[in-house]
Chains A and B, each alone.
Chain A
Amino acid sequence: MDNEKPIVDFGAIRDALGKDFEPVQVMDGQAKVIKPEIVSKYSNEQLVEFFKLMLWERTLHQRSNALTRQGRLGFYAPTEGQEASEMGSNSAMKKTDVLMPAYRDIPQLIQHGLPVYKAFLWSRGHVLGNEYPEDFHAMPPQIIIGAQYVQAAGVALGIKKNGTEDKVAYTYTGDGGTSQGDFYEGMNFAGAFQAPAVFIVQNNGYAISVPRRKQTAAKTLAQKAVAAGIPSVQVDGMDFLAVYEVTKAAREYAAAGNGPVMIETLTYRFGPHTNAGDDPKRYRTKDEEQPWFDNDPLIRYRKYLTDQGVWSEDQENEYIEQVKEDIKAAVKQADEAPKQKMTEFLGNVFEEQPQNIQQQITEFQAKESK
């Protein structure tokens, strides 16, 4: 009886899980074009514009890092290494799409339309940074891991109920975020309602210090969408064109009324979790980091452009200087924001003020007028 085969071979089923997910790549780490039919879709000018987006994000990161150290910014989550993942996905979206970002998605929020000085004010904890005009389709950065996923499902259902055409909700989380209940609930709700949502997972290898392999037994994060009945894909997150093309296709699919899509980008957080004391040396080695640093999304893309003769060091330096000037101006504008008042905070708790709020406004008015 010992040799009898069980009715189900669970080992074989487990080994097959996730096998369908091969990362999509357009240009490999050595700038070799894998999919020339994609690259040839774009003029050299367009390809340069894409590169500038990544260079802009890298420069923003470097300046934000420095400003944080000088105490001129508050909370900052470094984005270095994730430029292809963030700019590649975000630039495939439309300004009318609704962005539900997390705290590492500030560059996308800015490219979606948030002025840089407002992003800096958010970092400092000034509410003006979160005051968005009605026609800016985004929410302030989410702090609770995964909460934006269930909300994105709601936005997407709202888009569907309103009958708005060519519009999607899109949202980001990291590899750690895929362990949250809200991650599953958001995808499952969007799937059940066939709502136009694009869920993006930036798998940057770490949830603060906990590596991706400890988050789940699943081979890929992309396969987590399978259980919700929605299509998903894994993409080389260091390959701008691959992320861009995949996200564009996902957007078109969702906007056409086919239901939601999930994308896992394979990327790496070059720096610490945040600038509030996290030290990656405590939980990862140089040997692990170096291949990723060599795989920098800017290196391969820059090599391709210079090989084509459409990008030079001078152009790069000139552009970086221009971005730095813009950032300098944004810091100045942020510095000019008025001091926040407790009476204004109290006034934004409810639309119609209950007694406790009225009383406290009166108390603080007296203090503030002194």
Chain B
Amino acid sequence: MSKKTYIQAITDALRLELGSDEKTLVFGEDVGKNGGVFRATDGLQAEFGEDRVFDTPLAESGIGGLSIGLALEGFRPIPEIQFLGFIFETLDSIAGQMSRERFRTGGTRHMPITIRSPYGGGTHTPEMHADSLEGYLAQIPGLRVVTPSNPYDAKGLLISSIRNNDPVFFLENLKLYRSMKADIPDEAYTVPLDKANVVREGTDISLIAYSAQVNQSLKVAEKLEKEGISVEVVDLRTLSPLDEETILKSVQKTGRAVAIQEAQRQAGIAANVASLIAEKGALYLSAPVGRVYAPDTVYPFGLAEDDWLPAEDEIEAKTREILNY
């Protein structure tokens, strides 16, 4: 066991998988000598050589296409898209190509690609560096969208993603990179894909969240506990496809739910959670499903971002509203 930050846990996972599977390749913009703009790949080129860990020309669609071609030649690519806001340049590679290959080849070809990308607000980045675009990705058949909320899951989910034979979009929360530390095992371990995690058990209401919002939800749960309110917190971990069983089981137990996301309201993950509950768990409910989200504007980078991002007090207010409905 060692104390590791969220980003150190990610580096740890990459190092272990580079070491155990010679077909893994880590590449992207500035990931080589520089070790990535956030140092997620720090030291990996020195340890594994330029053949396994390398810089690419600055072109995201090229990185996506490169990953597909390398997968066809038997490699297990782990490309980095420097910021999630840059995926529009490579959306064809992701949505139009790699996620479809197993289907369009009738299962005769597969794409064991894990795309890593940082996202999420609150760190005062420039425009297009903090947007939560997971809602777009979640509509792509054949693609898993995974995001950890803590260092333990970061390492275990990344190892599972790399070992999986289908494409995974692995979202790393920028604000969590260095703000969280935890004791995690030094050796390789996996955290299952497609499984949500009940991170705190409760009986009165379910807060269903992911990534940084899990930690905000836990703080709300602790606060309300002092008033005798028992809050359950579910960490989705895999955003698409959803772990429907865990969500529905939690709502069946508590009878009340709030779905929380950092992204703007329209067509997001929280909407998927709410519609799932409406479709398959409506009779468990004693109140409508609440939702916490950001306004339906583009991300206002810079000075106004803290006003835009869903805050802990918004989660608390919505939780109380649904409890008192």
Interface membership of chain A positions 146-188, coded 1 if the CB is closer than 8 angstroms to chain B and 0 otherwise: 0101111111111101100000010000000000011001101
User: Would you give the shortest CB distance from B268 to chain A, in whole angstroms?
Assistant: 17
Contact of B72 among A127, A154, A161, A186 (CB under 8 A): A154
Q: Answer whether residue B75 sits at the interface, using C-beta atoms and an 8 A cutoff.
A: yes
Beta-carbon contacts under 8 Å, B39-65 to A: 51, 56-57, 59, 61-62, 64-65
Q: Which of B6-14, B173-181, B238-246, B287-295 contacts A (4 or more CB under 8 A)?
A: B238-246
Provide the main secondary structure of the chain A interface. Answer: helix
Nearest-CB residue, chain B, relative to A187: B62
Q: Which of A53-61, A210-218, A308-316, A354-362 contacts B (4 or more CB under 8 A)?
A: A354-362
Contact of B97 among A132, A147, A355 (CB under 8 A): A147
Q: Answer whether residue A144 sits at the interface, using C-beta atoms and an 8 A cutoff.
A: yes
Interface membership of chain B positions 65-93, coded 1 if the CB is closer than 8 angstroms to chain A and 0 otherwise: 11111111111000000000000000011
Bound-state Cα–Cα, A156 to B69, Å: 7
Task: Please determine whether A189 and B106 come into contact, CB atoms closer than 8 angstroms.
Answer: no
Contact of B70 among A130, A147, A158, A192 (CB under 8 A): A158
Given A154-B65, A154-B69, A157-B69, verify A144-B105 contact (CB < 8 Å): no
Contact of B241 among A159, A169, A357 (CB under 8 A): A357
Q: Which residues of A contact B165 (CB under 8 A)?
A: 351
Q: Which residues of B contact A29 (CB under 8 A)?
A: none
Bound-state Cα–Cα, A369 to B59, Å: 49
Given A355-B244, A356-B241, verify A189-B75 contact (CB < 8 Å): no
Q: Answer whether residue A345 sits at the interface, using C-beta atoms and an 8 A cutoff.
A: yes
Task: Please determine whether A189 and B104 come into contact, CB atoms closer than 8 angstroms.
Answer: no
Q: Which residues of B contact A131 (CB under 8 A)?
A: 105-108
Task: Please determine whether A354 and B194 come into contact, CB atoms closer than 8 angstroms.
Answer: yes
Task: Please determine whether B59 and A188 come into contact, CB atoms closer than 8 angstroms.
Answer: yes
Bound-state Cα–Cα, A351 to B108, Å: 11
Tally A residues with Cβ within 8 Å of B. 46
Task: Please determine whether A161 and B51 come into contact, CB atoms closer than 8 angstroms.
Answer: yes
Q: Answer whether residue A98 sits at the interface, using C-beta atoms and an 8 A cutoff.
A: yes
Bound-state Cα–Cα, A188 to B60, Å: 12
Bound-state Cα–Cα, A162 to B74, Å: 9
Bound-state Cα–Cα, A350 to B106, Å: 11
Nearest-CB residue, chain A, relative to B68: A151
User: Would you give the shortest CB distance from A191 to chain B, in whole angstroms?
Assistant: 9
Task: Please determine whether B105 and A157 come into contact, CB atoms closer than 8 angstroms.
Answer: no
Q: Which residues of A contact B72 (CB under 8 A)?
A: 98, 139, 151, 154-155, 158
User: Would you give the shortest CB distance from A15 to chain B, in whole angstroms?
Assistant: 30
Q: Answer whether residue A352 sits at the interface, using C-beta atoms and an 8 A cutoff.
A: yes
User: Would you give the shortest CB distance from A131 to chain B, in whole angstroms?
Assistant: 4
User: Would you give the shortest CB distance from B276 to chain A, in whole angstroms?
Assistant: 10
Q: Answer whether residue B96 sits at the interface, using C-beta atoms and an 8 A cutoff.
A: yes
Q: Which residues of A contact B66 (CB under 8 A)?
A: 150, 153-154, 157, 189
User: Would you give the shortest CB distance from B137 to chain A, in whole angstroms?
Assistant: 15
Q: Answer whether residue B200 sits at the interface, using C-beta atoms and an 8 A cutoff.
A: no
Q: Answer whether residue A46 sits at the interface, using C-beta atoms and an 8 A cutoff.
A: no
Q: Answer whether residue A349 sits at the interface, using C-beta atoms and an 8 A cutoff.
A: yes
Bound-state Cα–Cα, A193 to B139, Å: 34
Nearest-CB residue, chain A, relative to B55: A192
Q: Answer whether residue B110 sits at the interface, using C-beta atoms and an 8 A cutoff.
A: yes
Q: Which residues of B contact A185 (CB under 8 A)?
A: 57, 59, 61-62, 65
Told that A151-B97, A192-B56 touch, could you supply 10 new A-B pairs with CB distance under 8 A?
A127-B105, A139-B109, A147-B97, A150-B64, A156-B69, A159-B73, A161-B70, A169-B69, A350-B102, A356-B242
A-B contact pairs, 7 of them (CB 8 A): A132-B109, A133-B108, A150-B68, A152-B69, A189-B56, A356-B242, A359-B244
Interface residues of chain B, those whose CB is within 8 Å of chain A, are: 25, 51, 56-57, 59, 61-62, 64-75, 92-93, 96-97, 102-110, 141-142, 144, 164-166, 193-194, 238, 241-245
